[in-house]
Amino acid sequence: MDVKAAKALQLSALLQPEKIRSKPSGASSLSISREPHKKFLRVSVSVKLQPVRTSTIRRRVAPLEVTRSYENIPASTLESGTCHALLDEELILKSRSQEIDPYLNGRCIYLVGMMGSGKTTVGKIMAQVLGYSFCDSDALVEEEVGNSVADIFKHYGEAFFRDKETEVLHKLSLMRRFVISTGGGAVIRPINWKHMHKGVSVWLDVPLEALAQRIAAVGTNSRPLLHYEAGDAYTRALLKLSALFEERGDSYANANARVSLEKIAAKLGQRDVSKLSPTAIALEALEQIEVFLKEEDNNYAER
């Protein structure tokens, strides 16, 4: 083990009781190995914590266990404490997911938001930490039709795609324990909301400028509604996104919970939303889901 790196990781500092509301049960392990060229590290950390009961709901309280491996971490990153912060986030995520698990009771989570808002990226993190499966409604439509979204739009038109999307959402509404990344336009049909309200819906609200930056970076090949022939990629994407948001803004607000990147950045004292990590966004999503579920629970108790 690399002693300097182990010190830098400060494993004991990860166990912050006020953050994770848990007591260490004593079981933790850390292994670090250096790659042959000496610049990169492989870090594997396992922590087991005994959570303290905080909610009023009756449930079995399972120990909190996080095992994470990080490949190719530059030694400088580890020594700067970034790695420590990543592991810290991981533990908090796990703790938060255990907190909402009994309230969720296996209901699916539907992520809604504009194209490029991070539904897939954030959804995969949430699924992993909740022990849910992840799926993407666009991918299910593609599988069913046997064509890419772009080709479905081109050959069959948008209305055909929307019908397939509604069929897929109907099927998913009968499932349990899925985090679902929905298509950016799934919110426009009221029937889709009927399906999505079988679970808990979360709107990833990302400023249009940040979306345009991401879209300009990855291109529009898989996003036919944003496709442009020529011109500055960022400006084109921003114009198209603004027009779509004008039509859809109110529909996204139907979601049970809203995750505003601007609010997360303000909480963390950051100016630039593009610096927010997907993990920090997933954590805020779990927090907003918790707020919704606890309110729902209170309303139910008052009836």
Listing DSSP states for 2-62 in one string gives -HHHHHHH-HHHH--HHHH-EEEEEEEEEEEEE-TTSSEEEEEEEEEEEEPP-SSS----P
- Phi and psi (nearest 5°) for 131? 70, 30
Q: Which stretch binds ligand SKM (CB under 6 A): 38-46, 127-135, 172-180, 220-228?
A: 220-228
118 lies in the site for ligand ATP, by CB under 6 A: yes
Whole-number Å distance between alpha carbons of 210 and 114: 11
Residues with Cβ < 8 Å from 30, sequence gap 6 or more?
A: 1, 6, 9, 11, 43, 44, 45, 46
Per partner kind, with CB cut-offs from 5 to 8 A, the member of ligand SKM, ligand ATP, none near residue 224 is: ligand SKM
Per partner kind, with CB cut-offs from 5 to 8 A, the member of ligand SKM, ligand ATP, none near residue 149 is: ligand SKM
Which is closer to ligand ATP, CB of 21 or CB of 96?
Answer: 96
149 lies in the site for ligand SKM, by CB under 6 A: yes
Count the neighbouring beta carbons within 10 Å of the beta carbon of residue 214: 16
Q: Which stretch binds ligand SKM (CB under 6 A): 53-61, 68-76, 179-187, 233-241?
A: 179-187
Q: Which stretch binds ligand ATP (CB under 6 A): 24-32, 36-44, 113-121, 287-295?
A: 113-121
Whole-number Å distance between alpha carbons of 16 and 22: 8
162 lies in the site for ligand ATP, by CB under 6 A: no
The DSSP bridge pattern shows strands 22-34 and 40-51 to be antiparallel
Q: Are 205 and 252 within 8 A, CB to CB?
A: yes
Q: x/- site string to ligand ATP, residues 209 to 228, per CB under 6 A?
A: -----x---x----x-----
- Phi and psi (nearest 5°) for 196? -70, -25
Q: Which stretch binds ligand ATP (CB under 6 A): 67-75, 76-84, 108-116, 262-270?
A: 108-116
Closest CB 242 distance from ligand SKM, rounded Å: 13
3-state secondary structure of 218: helix
Q: What six digits make up the tokens of 260?
A: 């505003």
Residues between 29 and 88 with contacts to ligand SKM, criterion CB under 6 A: none
Per partner kind, with CB cut-offs from 5 to 8 A, the member of ligand SKM, ligand ATP, none near residue 281 is: ligand ATP
Closest CB 140 distance from ligand SKM, rounded Å: 11
Q: Note the residues at the interface with ligand ATP (CB under 6 A).
A: 113, 115-121, 181, 184, 214, 218, 223, 274, 276, 278, 281
